[in-house]
Structure 1
């Protein structure tokens, strides 16, 4: 039977000390002790521990692993499930750079929600809210895996949230029509089909790099997404069920792709936009050497300013920085669909979003229709007032 008793002793310095000792047995019947400076803390802990013992989920401090060790278990579990190398790399960075340095030595059995809240406060002192949000989500997943394995009774990070101000959300940069036309007009014969496909289908860069000719149906005028290429140029399935989708394409893109198929590099994987050897195109090369260069050629770049003056290269020319990443073409496609009245369900499906809410979160500001709102209100007023 568990008991709490008062313990009194004299320290080596001659000071009178008092503590409250919890004497209990764990799930295996082994006798355990835990000491507290206040009786109410001992009472609260014993109530919780007794319930955990009855449920078979109690872990004594001496047998508990640390948060850092739990991170290793979480990452190993992700590897065993076949997560992509890029995903594993992100998990490891979150664990090594943001979780372990601040809370890694804490034992799971001693981790509480207030301690997780303190962890959040420490993160915010030196990291952005966005990075703090990612680190807390990762910790919740670490503890979730530990809970699934019976290493802890509850996930104390599950309810901890990092509020992110709408001001801190990255602004969606959307190229204008003139800029999109300039990109297409200045693209060389090899780059033009890829740019057109990105603008007219909204495919992600990873999906463009992994697209196969087998997934282009010229007769039905559709493109299906069934695989993607990761940052290491490894082909694999889309990252979510929603990633699998079929997108309708217009006659202009069908014509451009038919012409491109006749002269595109051939490879064993049958990719639509491969590198010169027919293999998977490296993302860094596509972005920095090809897409950035295209923007500078098309005039979609701005001079780098240093100390109030344009920075010059070795030849005395202004150093230019491109305005957009490849993902901006996906935003442009979504913007075009919205302006044409594509409904939210189709928009969500064609973009490969996991939910309608995700589409609203990203493109909600484009969904407003002041003229249409005014017409609806006037019609309602007329109906009500006769």
Structure 2
């Protein structure tokens, strides 16, 4: 491995000079890279030595672009039989958000600071991207970065690139506290408050009540609500068993994960309302609990447009623009907060593991990352002083 000065003439006869970093990778293949300054060549070669020694170096000439890696990742997801709706969402992340901004970047040159810059473009928007340059929501940004991290991991597993995954590095930094709380779910902004839920339940029309009650007090995902059958509800013992869900195309399939197949207790008031609803529920081929008026699987947008939004407007639960303040998933967030809140505050005061099981999360880490900050904390100073006294006698 060496750095040496190189001089040459252009086609126009102009003399040029630069510094050439010459090295061999872990497979013995020779590579050369030209730099305008010697210190840049030295820095590159020093880093290349470390990566070659560790067996994780990828030369720029061998590295695919982000767009090429994304295409391979999507093909692999499709070949593995990924759910149609999920695959469509991944394609949107790639085509509408990732490729327009960083698609032409070589994976070997993609760094954590570049991912941070990419995230800032998503947050603030970029006029140079035209219609695609609008600011994205925090929730959408998280999903886009997850897709980017997944496609980078796939490229690494496939041997297309080596070294650290900059998206995962950024996630580790965030967990370490560098950006803790920036996109944290908040009561009254992302999660309806108890007073808002109380007002909603007082004013909700009777024909809109059952599905919202189940969403609020049982925490089902929208897809699980839409795919719920009467055979999945034990009206005698008050229990819902999640066995299937309906995707965005109204196709019935299995739960989102193994953890999604779960049993959820139904509060007595909700159970009473469900028994009354069963007597007037529209008939459907799949004996659905919440079918459309014609007996088909309801579209998510129809539930929001014709049930949730009118209920929120009636209860005056709106934002500064006078639009409905919450989406359907916010009711699931409320359910999680209700499980976590102390009993003296009207909650159920459940431990983290129990919350994970009832929410149907595939990992307790998901539950902790999303809702851990909602768990009540005691008087840390008083508890610390008491522990010190007990330890020291």
Question: Quick check: TM above 0.5?
Answer: yes
Query: Where does residue 308 of structure 1 map in the other structure?
Result: none
For the Cα contact (< 8 Å) 1:116–1:156, is it kept in 2?
Answer: no
Tell me, yes or no, if structure 1 residue 20 matches structure 2 residue 35.
no
The CA deviation string for residues 299-330 of structure 1, in whole angstroms up to 9 with x for no partner, is 3345976xxxxxxxxxxxxxx63343333433
Match for 1:223 among 210, 233, 240? 240
Distance in 1 (alpha carbons) for counterparts of 2:117 and 2:337: 41
Q: Helix, strand or coil: the match of 1:295?
A: helix
CA distance in 1, matches of 2:258, 2:29: 47
Alpha-carbon deviations, 1:182-203, whole Å to 9, x = none?
A: 5366423x43322222232122
Normalised by the length of structure 1, the TM-score is 0.76
Question: How far is 1:64 from its partner?
Answer: 3.5
- In 1, Cα distance between the equivalents of 2:389 and 2:209? 52
Segments of 5+ residues of structure 1 without an aligned counterpart are 306-319
| 1:280-319 alignment, distance < 5 Å | 280-297=297-314, 299-302=315-318
Distance change in 2, residues 1:210/1:66 (3 Å): same
Whether the 8 Å CA contact 1:26–1:60 is kept in 2: the answer is no
Give the whole-Å Cα distance in 2 for the aligned partners of 1:324 and 1:125: 22
CA contact (8 A) 2:48 2:57 kept: no
Equivalent-residue separation in structure 1 for 2:186 and 2:277 (angstroms): 34
SS of residue matched to 1:8: strand
Q: Any gaps of 5 or more consecutive residues in structure 2?
A: 126-134, 342-346
Structure 2 counterpart of 1:233, from 240, 243, 250: 250
- Aligned-pair Cα RMSD in Å: 4.0
Contact between 1:174 and 1:328, CA under 8 Å: does it hold in 2?
Answer: yes
**Structure 1 segment 121-132 matched on structure 2, within 5 A:** 126=125, 127=135, 130=138
Match of 2:329 among 321, 327, 330: 327
1:385 Cα deviation from its structure 2 partner: 12
> How do 1:200-279 and structure 2 match up within 5 A?
200-279=217-296
The verdict on how the C-alpha distance between 1:6 and 1:341 changes in structure 2, with shifts beyond 3 A counting, is: closer
Deviation track 1:221-255 (CA, whole Å, cap 9, x = no partner) reads: 21011222222222222323332210112444333
CA distance in 1, matches of 2:212, 2:354: 22
Which residue is 1:348 aligned to?
A: 356
Distance in 2 of aligned mates of 1:116 and 1:381: 45
Distance 2:5 2:384 in 1: 73
Q: How much has 1:105 moved relative to structure 2? A: 1.3
- Structure 1 residues 105 and 199: CA distance shift in structure 2, 3 A: closer
- Residues 377 and 6 (structure 1), Cα distance of their counterparts in 2 relative to 1, 3 Å cut: closer
CA shift in 2, pair 1:13/1:156, >3 Å: farther
C-alpha deviation, 1:68, in angstroms? 0.8
Q: Judging changes above 3 Å, is the alpha-carbon distance between structure 1 residues 215 and 13 closer, same or farther for their aligned structure 2 residues?
A: same
Displacement of 1:148 in angstroms is: 1.3
Kept after mapping to 2: 8 A contact 1:129/1:164: no
Which residue pairs with 2:129 in the alignment? none
User: Which of 1 and 2 has greater Rg?
Assistant: 1
CA contact (8 A) 1:267 1:279 kept: yes
| Post-superposition offset of 1:181 | 6.3
Contact 1:6 1:21 in 2 (8 A): no
Q: Deviations over 1:243-283 (max 9, x none)?
A: 22101124443333233333322323222111122221111
**For the residues of structure 2 that align with 1:273 and 1:67, how far apart are their CA atoms?**
42
SS of match in other structure, 2:170: coil
Matched residue of 2:323: which SS? strand
TM-score by length of structure 2 reads: 0.75
Aligned pairs, how many? Answer: 364
